[in-house]
């Protein structure tokens, strides 16, 4: 069965520091991969997505993610974090053909001024 | 363009009652998904509707049900509410052949 693991429940970084949020998935083939962000009291906003092709994906708000098939990973990165990036981040796997999305349990990011 | 809209924003019910949550997808989207976000459990897939039919279902008991209307809006019904049903219920929509879902702001259901 497909699954998504986000090993870090909480991450704290200083404003201006770089960020990497980890995501590992289990799926028989190459799934569709997504990162979403959820600010407090809000719904989920899509940051970026990977379907195929170039394994380095650029998203909104300066985020990028790299798909590594050999590691079954899709880690999210940002070179310089802003205080407004404090939120919860969800990695998701989309099952092609079913449009069923499996989400990780999320990583809550705290940004220190 | 309006996004996915959910109503009500907050809902308080007593254990044993029924709750009805509503979702209007983005115009042109035919697929609607429901997720439960309970504290500490992340997002759990509940239901997927497309073209008026239930296409897929998560690991939830039958008292969680729903439907999709001809205008592609959707209702989620939760019968015989239990305390652990308290959660944020998120609705998302996508094109039938699309591969990304857009989420609403959610309905916060509290069962007391």
In terms of pLDDT, which residue wins out, A77 or B45?
A77
Q: Kind of pairing, strands A10-14 and A107-112?
A: parallel
Q: Do B106 and A96 touch (CB under 8 A)?
A: no
Contact, A15 vs A81, CB < 8 A? Answer: yes
Q: What's B25's DSSP letter?
A: P
Cα(B36)–Cα(A64) distance, rounded to whole angstroms? 27
A contacts of B60 (beta carbons < 8 Å): none
| Distances, alpha carbon A72 to alpha carbons A28, A67, B42, B64, B82, in Å | 10, 8, 20, 33, 37
Q: Which of A6, A30, A92, A101 to mutate to test the interface with B (most CBs of B within 10 A)?
A: A101
Q: Which of A41, A46, A106 lies closest to B42 in CB terms? A: A106
Average pLDDT along chain B: 92
| Distances, alpha carbon B101 to alpha carbons B79, B89, B95, in Å | 27, 15, 8
Q: Which pLDDT belongs to residue B7?
A: 97
> Residue A103: pLDDT above 70?
yes
> Residue A51: pLDDT above 90?
no
Q: Which of B21, B25, B39, B42 to mutate to test the interface with A (most CBs of A within 10 A)?
A: B42
Mean pLDDT value across residues B56-74: 95
At B99, the pLDDT band (50, 70, 90 cuts) reads low
Per the structure block, which two tokens stand in for B95? 């094109």
Q: Do A34 and B92 touch (CB under 8 A)?
A: no
Q: Which pLDDT belongs to residue B72?
A: 95
Q: What's A28's DSSP letter?
A: S
Per the structure block, which two tokens stand in for B35? 């997720």
At A80, the pLDDT band (50, 70, 90 cuts) reads very high
Cα(A84)–Cα(A110) distance, rounded to whole angstroms? 10
């Amino acid at each position: 069965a497909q699954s998504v693991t986000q090993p870090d429940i909480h991450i704290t970084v200083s404003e201006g520091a770089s960020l990497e949020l980890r995501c590992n998935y289990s799926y028989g083939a190459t799934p569709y991969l997504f990162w979403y962000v959820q600010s407090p009291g809000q719904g989920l906003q899509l940051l970026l997505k990977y379907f195929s092709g170039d394994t380095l994906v650029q998203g909104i708000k300066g985020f990028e993610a790299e798909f590594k098939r050999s590691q079954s990973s899709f880690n999210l990165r940002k070179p310089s974090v802003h205080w407004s990036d404090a939120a919860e981040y969800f990695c998701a796997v989309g099952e092609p053909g079913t449009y069923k999305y499996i989400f990780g349990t999320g990583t809550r990011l705290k940004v220190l001024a | 363009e309006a996004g996915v809209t959910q109503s009500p924003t907050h809902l308080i019910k007593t254990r044993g009652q029924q709750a009805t949550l509503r979702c209007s997808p983005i115009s042109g989207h035919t697929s609607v998904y429901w997720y439960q976000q309970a504290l500490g459990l992340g997002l759990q897939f509940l239901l997927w509707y497309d073209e008026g039919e239930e296409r897929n279902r998560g690991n939830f008991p039958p008292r969680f049900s729903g439907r999709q209307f001809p205008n592609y809006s959707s209702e989620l019904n939760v019968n015989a509410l239990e305390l652990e049903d308290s959660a944020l219920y998120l609705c998302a929509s996508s094109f039938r052949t699309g591969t990304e879902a857009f989420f609403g702001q959610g309905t916060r259901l509290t069962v007391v």
